[in-house]
Amino acid sequence: MAMAETHKSGTGRYVVVYIFILVIAALQFVIAYSNITAPQMFGRMLFLAVVEATLALLFFMHLSDNHSLLWFVVIFTVFVLLAMQYGWTDSFRVLLGAPWSNYTKY
């Protein structure tokens, strides 16, 4: 019986995280309508988005409980971001042109 008494459901923790996410969303709304430059707005919004996504992943996807799944998500995300960078070199070729880009096939 003592073991059941020490185990808590943790519902209060999720409510607190949800309230923090709502506060971050309200801050994003305030920042969106504030009179600041675009780079300042981008930096602030990006920071708040990263914090909000981190809270959602850790608590609502239970990554704070399962460390092996957390490491999988971190490694997979880094891999995807690095793989996305592979295509940027081709975008410069499209923008600047290539010797064979004007070739038309008859």
For 53-69, the pLDDT digits (tens) are: 989 888 888 888 888 98
CB 24 within 8 A of CB 52: yes
In a domain, 105, yes or no: no
Assess contact for 13 and 4: CB atoms under 8 A: no
Band of pLDDT at residue 104, cut at 50, 70 and 90? low
Global pTM reads: 0.63
pLDDT over 90, % of the chain: 38
Residue at 18 is within a domain: yes
**Token duo for residue 40:** 């300042």
**What are 102's two structure tokens?**
């004007």
Cβ(17)–Cβ(59) under 8 Å? Answer: yes
Q: SS3 for 24?
A: helix
Residue 24 has pLDDT above 60, yes or no: yes
Domain membership of residue 48 (yes or no) is yes
Other beta carbons within 10 angstroms of residue 24's beta carbon come to: 17
Higher pLDDT, 48 or 100: 48
Q: If pLDDT is split at 50, 70 and 90, which confidence band does 1 have?
A: very low
Domain count, the chain: 1
